[in-house]
Amino acid sequence: MGMYDKPLFRLLGDRGLLVEYGDVIDPLINDRVRRLGLALEKTPPRGLTEYVGTYCSMIIIYDPGLTSVTMLKQAVRELEENLHAMEAPEPAVIRIPVCYGGEYGPDMGYVAEYNSLGTDEVIRLHSEPLYRIYMLGFTPGYPYLGGLPEQLHTPRLPTPRTLVPAGSVGIANAQTGIYSIASPGGWRLIGRTPVKLFSARRERPILLQTGDFLKFYPISPSEFRDMAQKEEG
Amino acid sequence: MEIFRVLKPGPQTQIQDLGRYGYLQYGVPPCGVLDQYSSRVANLLAGNSGNEALLEITFQGPRLEVLGRAILAITGADMEVTLNGDACPLWASFPVKPGDILNIGQAKRGLRAYLAVTGGIDVPLIMGSRSTYSAAGFGGYQGRALATGDILACGEGAEGKAGISCPAEFIPPLTSETVLRAIPGPQDYMFEEGLANFFGSTYEVTPYSNRMGYRLEGLAITLGSGRPQSIISEPSLPGGVQVPADGKPIILLLEQTTGGYAKIATVISTDICRVAQARPGDRIIFARISLEEAHVLFLEREARLQKLAGQLRKIA
């Protein structure tokens, strides 16, 4: 269990190769994934179609007409040798404003009561940490975050809501996250951000990036409305 | 140029091209046509290069009023197609003019048909593709399946020719029993005897099957002893076969981004078009194949399409 000495290669059909660095959620493992991603971006091997960093592994999608798994493994091993020496840019910290509680966070009362905390303590505990963005997925631009304080761990809703508004900030057991688009969902909602994590027609459709950090900060309902208006404009 | 007014949309008629690539790292799945072979042939017959946007029609076709002069071609599932009430051939190009009524009926065999028009269906490129991603509400026609009253346009400048037929040897058979070739992994090591059971039994396609995935009914696959029910969530690729807690396999397709269940095997890319044509009640058998064999099949498929494109150019 933990980080492997050497990455394991696994097949994902005839178009994909998985490079696995470990089998637990760990910032050090995720950092190796991030570094390989930066190296692949800088020196893409021939036949690379796209790549996706995950919690513990890198998925490499390739064109079998242009390369082979043997060649890709060789390319990854060569990139690996230089990973430690590689100057990786410092991860960015993206600050996300959240209007906690009230109409934007209908489950705030439940989360506070479940954990025997006051609402203000829930807000303080939730907006204090730097959350690592381990992976994006599920819906466009949705971040899988690590680092939710244990005092806030709360089970999901017994029955998911049929529609959760985009920007809703929720908790599900040890995870916290932001709904990037309106979708059904069972997370306990404690607030909402006016910031759009995904907008198909924006020059950069996706706001967040795997390997960066996210920090929440509380805003008032009137600040929420002002910011939401600017996002629309 | 305006080409169609939708009189009846059919239950699930969407604009797709070959897909949206480079955004999986941001949680955006490829989307695109499920049956790439049939859709590429439809485009070739219509005088296109192959990646133009077209209509993916599932189970029941639309009724369309033609608004412009164009060349069309329909491939894929066996649906009854009429133009102003007269039967229209499949796997062949034919001309239409303003005022014509094109009616596409129910699939008799297969499930998905492709309607290509010379110049391609013209909708905005979003993140490099015209494919509809209906779950996120973008791409294609306003991010959704077609509805009554929608007006579609097509690209101009391309030249098609009527009366071009696809030679019979390039038309894949449609059967109620489908063999899907699959490579074990990425989590095949979690399954012990489950792997042999998976490759040794027959599954049935359930009605809970769509562009996200196909749920199958049949022998439940068990994990090896001491293996956890789920894995750390990871992105899934089209063709991945995940085994949830009830042991009934799900073939993940083009609108799935991440999953937390172990994947026993991955259907090869060449055979995704067979999944696209399998309908609820059809039988599925998974056949184990090596990576090397899969790559040979991939290259053969590409060569075949090249050969067809060459032959069609000669006729045209």
Contact call for residues B265 and B188 (beta carbons, < 8 A): yes
Beta strands in B155-309 (DSSP E): 177-184, 202-209, 213-217, 230-235, 240-242, 250-252, 258-261, 263-267, 283-288
CB nearest A18 (choices: B182, B183, B186): B186
pLDDT of residue B231: 86
In this prediction, residues A136-158 reach a mean pLDDT of: 93
CB nearest B138 (choices: A15, A144, A200): A200
Q: A211 pLDDT exceeds 80?
A: yes
**How do residues B283-302 score in pLDDT, each as one tens digit?**
999 999 999 999 999 999 99
Q: Is the dihedral of CA A18, A23, A24, A29 positive or negative?
A: negative
Chain B nearest C-alpha distance from A7 (Å)? 14
In this prediction, residues A143-158 reach a mean pLDDT of: 94
DSSP per-residue letters across B8-37: E--SSEEEE-S---S-GGGT------S-HH
Confidence band, pLDDT 50/70/90 cuts, at residue B49: very high
Hey, are the CB atoms on A141 and B21 less than 8 Å from each other?
Answer: no
What is the rounded CA–CA span in Å between residue B98 and residue B84? 11
> CB distance from A119 to chain B under 8 Å?
no
> CB distance from B202 to chain A under 8 Å?
no
Contact call for residues A146 and A131 (beta carbons, < 8 A): yes
Q: A1 pLDDT exceeds 80?
A: no
Hey, are the CB atoms on A200 and B126 less than 8 Å from each other?
Answer: yes
| C-alpha to C-alpha distances, B139 to A42, A165, B32, B37, nearest whole angstrom | 30, 20, 10, 22
Provide the token pair at B86: 């007269």
Q: B316 pLDDT exceeds 90?
A: no
Binding-face residues of A in 11-40 toward B, CB within 8 A: 11-16, 18, 23-25, 37
Residue of B31, B131, B234, B292 to mutate when probing chain A, most A C-beta within 10 A: B234
pLDDT of residue B23: 94
In this prediction, residues B67-76 reach a mean pLDDT of: 97
Q: A138 pLDDT exceeds 90?
A: no
Confidence band, pLDDT 50/70/90 cuts, at residue A201: confident
Q: B38 pLDDT exceeds 90?
A: yes
Element (H, E) at B277: helix B272-277
Non-local CB neighbours of B226 within 8 Å, separated by 6+ positions: none
Chain A positions in Cβ-Cβ contact with residue B299 (cut-off 8 Å): 64-65
**How do residues A43-75 score in pLDDT, each as one tens digit?**
999 999 999 999 999 999 999 999 999 999 999
Chain B nearest C-alpha distance from A200 (Å)? 7
Q: A195 pLDDT exceeds 90?
A: yes
Q: Is the dihedral of CA A218, A223, A229, A230 positive or negative?
A: negative
pLDDT of residue A88: 80
In this prediction, residues B37-56 reach a mean pLDDT of: 96
Chain B positions in Cβ-Cβ contact with residue A18 (cut-off 8 Å): 186
Chain A positions in Cβ-Cβ contact with residue B260 (cut-off 8 Å): none
Whole-number average pLDDT of chain B: 95
Q: Which of A222-226, B64-68, B138-142, B226-230 has the lowest mean pLDDT?
A: B226-230
Non-local CB neighbours of B44 within 8 Å, separated by 6+ positions: B50, B305, B308, B309, B312
In this prediction, residues B267-285 reach a mean pLDDT of: 98
CB nearest B27 (choices: A37, A57, A139): A139
Binding-face residues of A in 133-172 toward B, CB within 8 A: 135-142, 144
Q: B158 pLDDT exceeds 90?
A: no
Chain B nearest C-alpha distance from A89 (Å)? 19
In this prediction, residues B11-26 reach a mean pLDDT of: 96
Residue of B25, B187, B261 to mutate when probing chain A, most A C-beta within 10 A: B25
**Cα A27–A30–A36 angle (5° rounding)?**
145
Residue of A1, A11, A14, A48 to mutate when probing chain B, most B C-beta within 10 A: A14
Hey, are the CB atoms on B24 and A50 less than 8 Å from each other?
Answer: yes
> CB distance from B137 to chain A under 8 Å?
yes
Provide the token pair at A121: 């303590």
Hey, are the CB atoms on B186 and A201 less than 8 Å from each other?
Answer: no
How many residues appear in chain A? 233
pLDDT of residue B257: 83
Contact call for residues B9 and B146 (beta carbons, < 8 A): yes
Q: B227 pLDDT exceeds 90?
A: no
Chain B positions in Cβ-Cβ contact with residue A50 (cut-off 8 Å): 21-25
pLDDT of residue B308: 97
Q: A233 pLDDT exceeds 80?
A: no
> CB distance from A1 to chain B under 8 Å?
no
pTM for the whole structure: 0.94
Whole-number average pLDDT of chain A: 94
Chain A nearest C-alpha distance from B94 (Å)? 34
What is the rounded CA–CA span in Å between residue B221 and residue B244? 9
What is the rounded CA–CA span in Å between residue B229 and residue B216? 19
Q: B203 pLDDT exceeds 90?
A: yes
> CB distance from B266 to chain A under 8 Å?
yes
Nearest-Cα residue of chain A relative to residue B183? A13
Q: A202 pLDDT exceeds 80?
A: yes
Contact call for residues A200 and B131 (beta carbons, < 8 A): no
